Structure 1
Amino acid sequence: MKTLKQTGPIHAATPKTLTPWYAQRWPWLLMLGPMAVVLAGLFTAWLAFTYQDALVVDDYYKAGKAINQDLRRDREAARLGISCNLRYNAAQGVLSGVLHNLQQSETPATSTEEGAAALGRGTLQLRLIHSTLPAKDILLNLQADRQGNFSAALPLLDAARWQVLIEDRQGNWRLHGNWIWPQQRAIDLRAEG
């Protein structure tokens, strides 16, 4: 039988000085991901409760019927051959435009007043609808002269994509289009039939 020789003193296992868990970097690194998700969830909840969602319609049936009404007005504008040119001068704060009747030479009215009435010249409504913020929508009541010229004071527009709607006061026809301000200084609206 062999005996083992002891070559050095036997040391008892002495515990190292242990640092508490919060002093270690690994638990914090592992908790960083879940903490980021919780913060992002809180931020999303804050956004959802702070800003009202304006895209939801309460009565879908009425909204569907309104789409058909809008299409009828678009077809009427195309039948009349209506177009509009809008130009915005930001330095002066003036939106000006001209309403045209493309078929005026083909079907002249018996008088200029009847022609103006057919186009709704006189009182027009112009809506500038902000792409994301309904509080920034603008409604302008315009007075067009016999040649279809009109202008209105307009404060500086936000840089955004605006939806433009122009219609007669009675709601018989409408023109619409998209306007990317400030990349487009002017916009031409034509009826699509």
Structure 2
Amino acid sequence: MREDLKPWYKQFWPWFLIGLLLSSITFSLIYLVVSIRYYDGSVEGDYYKRGLAINEQLAKQEHARALGLEAQVLFDSRTGDVVVDLEGDSRPESLALALVFPTDSDFDRALTLKHVHEGRYVTTLEEPLRYRWYLQLQPETGEQAEWRLTGEISFPSDAPVTLKPGL
């Protein structure tokens, strides 16, 4: 028996292997917590139905094009006013403006604009917006709307945005 043999807890390799195991457990737990907390919900349960609904969206765009619809949207960053000037053959009493955030649906906003005068619709934002947003203008909320105009904007911006038929 050799006397210069150290006990296991004073040697390098057992601690190296234990460290590898503990670090893998630690990182696994961190990734588990992050994946649960920041779940993005990227896969829809009814993805097949949503895929079939693209034809309905195309029909809405074509109907808006047939009516000759186009809209100018102006966001006033100082007052929070949202003004839409709608041109074409449709004058509903109110419009639904959906502000869609590209990466997180929790930030999406829905605004209802009231008709004030010959194609002009107005509403107010509660708080100023930042970053890039997709805009969808319809005569009513939901999938039952007859037509849809789309566009995009990056905030802060005081320049008017033109919404046209299109995806």
Fold agreement, TM-score > 0.5:
yes
Rounded to whole Å, the distance in 2 between the matches of 1:95 and 1:39 is 49
Q: 1:124 aligns with which of 70, 92, 95?
A: 95
The equivalent of 1:164 in structure 2 is 135
The equivalent of 1:104 in structure 2 is none
- Structure 1 residues 96 and 126: CA distance shift in structure 2, 3 A: same
Give unmatched runs, 5+ long, in structure 1. 1-14, 102-117
The equivalent of 2:79 in structure 1 is 92
Confirm whether residue 55 of structure 1 aligns to residue 42 of structure 2.
yes
Contact 1:121 1:143 in 2 (8 A): no
Confirm whether residue 133 of structure 1 aligns to residue 99 of structure 2.
no
Give unmatched runs, 5+ long, in structure 2. none
Contact 1:121 1:145 in 2 (8 A): no
Contact 2:75 2:157 in 1 (8 A): no
Could you tell me how far 1:163 is from its partner in structure 2?
Answer: 1.2
Q: 2:148 aligns with which of 174, 183, 188?
A: 174
Could you tell me how far 1:183 is from its partner in structure 2?
Answer: 5.1
The equivalent of 1:7 in structure 2 is none
Partner letter of residue 188 of structure 1? T
TM-score, structure 2 as length reference:
0.76
Partner letter of residue 164 of structure 1? L
Rounded to whole Å, the distance in 2 between the matches of 1:79 and 1:71 is 12
Which protein is bigger by CA-based radius of gyration?
A: 1
TM-score, structure 1 as length reference:
0.67
Report SS of the residue matched to 2:44.
coil
Contact 1:166 1:175 in 2 (8 A): yes
Report SS of the residue matched to 1:140.
strand
